[in-house]
Structure 1
Amino acid sequence: MRFTRRTLIRASFFIVPMRDENGGRDMYITITLQSDVPWEIPVNYNHLLQAAIYRHLSPEFADFLHNQGYIVDRRRFTLFSFSRLMGPHDYIPASKMLVFQNKVQLILSSPIERFIREITQVLLMEGIRIGSHCLRVTSIQTEIFKVDRSVIEIETLSPVVAYSTLLRPDGRKYTKYFYPGEKDFQRIISDNLVRKAKLIYGANLAFAPVSINSIGDFRKQIVLYKNTIIEAYNGRFILEGDSRLLQAAVDAGLGGKNSCGFGCIRPISR
């Protein structure tokens, strides 16, 4: 596993580096946000972060990602993921609000160069609005994680989702969520990565399935996304398979609903 890191600071004029000396792309950005006063956000804030991300893309590109996306095998992908907000905070049970202190970080990843370029440029110039709160962007650190092996260890920065839409006997649809260790969890994660890799590397390529195994205990997290209850899992996992599939997981996210704030992962160096 190789990685390269850069830090960009606010400036009146800047050039965002999109390739390193070996021709790789910066697909992984850590945004440091600053507020002069503590600020509140609902504990279920995924939709607010998602809206903030789309607002900081050009209107035509945001519309494309939100309403069309990248299609393969009749499935639609947006090919980006984002982490939870990371920083000191308090939880207020009565209002179900999180109160963040002055500094927080947010991580975004995508294999789409335009996504990284647009959002980096706009954030540095304008800052970001999350819900009703306007935050300054004090730095953006860009990284390249080059997967050059068939086994990697990762940790989740936002929980991983594996689900299927099934039919009840009366014909009504329902969503079934799977947990790490279930056969269907592994199958769904692997099939999802194969489709992402086809979009990134070529639709005519064939890939063997990826295996995913948890390291130690995993933690279930229930997230209310708008009006939908989603079951997801945090933890550390070992991924084994074609390095291009593992690269797709790092760049585009692991599992489903990545653009809703699920499946952002980070490789663990060893």
Structure 2
Amino acid sequence: MRFKVQLSIDKNAYGNALPFSYQYELSSFIYHTLAKGNAEYAEWLHENGFSLEGKQFRLFVFSPLLLKASVNKDINRLILVDDVATMQIGFLPERSTEEFVKGVFAEQRFTLGDKISKVQFSITGIELMPTPEWGGEMRGETLSPICLSQKNEEGQVHYFSASAPEAGEAVINNLRNKYRAFYGKPFAGDTAFEWETTSEPRAKLITVKAGTPQQTKIRASLCRFRLKADNELLRIGYEAGLGEKNSMGFGMVK
């Protein structure tokens, strides 16, 4: 289930300079909005969620803000041009009904930024988007970068590109794990799959919790792609994201 969220930008509140890396703050806004709307739902999402072998799958994903902006690399900011923006949010859990999502997000106001600058946004509308039909194949592109990684023997995380030899297995195994976490049973459908990037992936380095002791950097890929797989896995990828860290804004595709 995917929604298009319409936003207005109040430049008079704090200005129009937005840090490049704002995904963590946007993810926090989504969590807090769910908590205000339904404490029981938020506790289930955050504390229990869907787990598999100790790993949590929160099974929602969101796009970056879709807006007009100029880039100021000297201060690492986006300078917002218009007074409006949009974004998309996708939910896999069936409890995320249209009425629930529209109710908790309607007319919410939030601020994104850091100690240097921030921008205030207001939600002016939210609408349910139609679910595509794939016929066993998804050809698309990333709205937010796909994060793929593996740990070495020392426990260090290695991020790799969506065009790396191991990328296809990583994408499909992640979808199967999401299926198992959501339905509580292993995926038993068609196991055949094909994955290829149809454009040269562009690396993105995203800073999470910038300016804090917990600051980390995540490397991910923007690209066009073709994924051939069982339709149920394609639906999960569309509604909950491809790859890892979807609830932090990675892996939303169109």
TM-score class, shorter: 0.7 to 0.9
Contact 1:198 1:204 in 2 (8 A): yes
> Given the alignment, which residue of 221, 235, 238 partners 2:204?
221
CA RMSD of aligned residues (A): 2.0
Q: Provide the rounded CA distance (Å) in 2 between the counterparts of 1:193 and 1:143.
A: 22
1:54 aligns with 2:31: yes
Cα deviation, 1:122-167, whole Å, max 9, x if unaligned, reads 2214344435644222221211314341112011110001101222
Q: Runs of at least 4 residues of structure 1 off by over 6 A?
A: none
Matched residue of 1:198: which SS?
helix
Partner in structure 1 of residue 129 of structure 2: 143
How far, CA to CA, are the matches of 1:49 and 1:88 in structure 2? 18
Task: Check conservation: 2:10, 2:119, Cα contact below 8 A.
Answer: no
**Aligned with 1:123 (options 105, 111, 122):** 105
- Asked whether 1:34 is paired with 2:8, we answer yes
Question: For structure 2, which runs of at least 5 residues remain unmatched after alignment?
Answer: 210-214
Q: Percent of pairs identical after alignment?
A: 26
SS of the residue corresponding to residue 181 of structure 1 reads coil
Taking structure 1 as reference, are residues 174 and 120 closer, same or farther at Cα in structure 2, changes over 3 Å only? same
Per residue, is there more strand in 1 or in 2?
Answer: 1
Aligned to 1:114: 95
In the alignment, residue 250 of structure 1 is paired with which amino acid? Y
1:260 to 1:122, Cα distance in 2 relative to 1, 3 A: same
**Secondary structure of 2:41 counterpart:** helix
Which residue is 2:212 aligned to? Answer: none
What are the ranges of 5 or more consecutive residues in structure 1 without an aligned counterpart? 1-26
TM value normalised by structure 2 = 0.85
Contact 1:194 1:209 in 2 (8 A): no
Q: Alpha-carbon deviations, 1:53-96, whole Å to 9, x = none?
A: 11110334333323332012442100000111111112222321
* 1:256 partnered with 2:236: no
**With structure 1 as the length reference, what TM-score do the two structures score?**
0.80
Q: Does 1:243 align with 2:226?
A: no
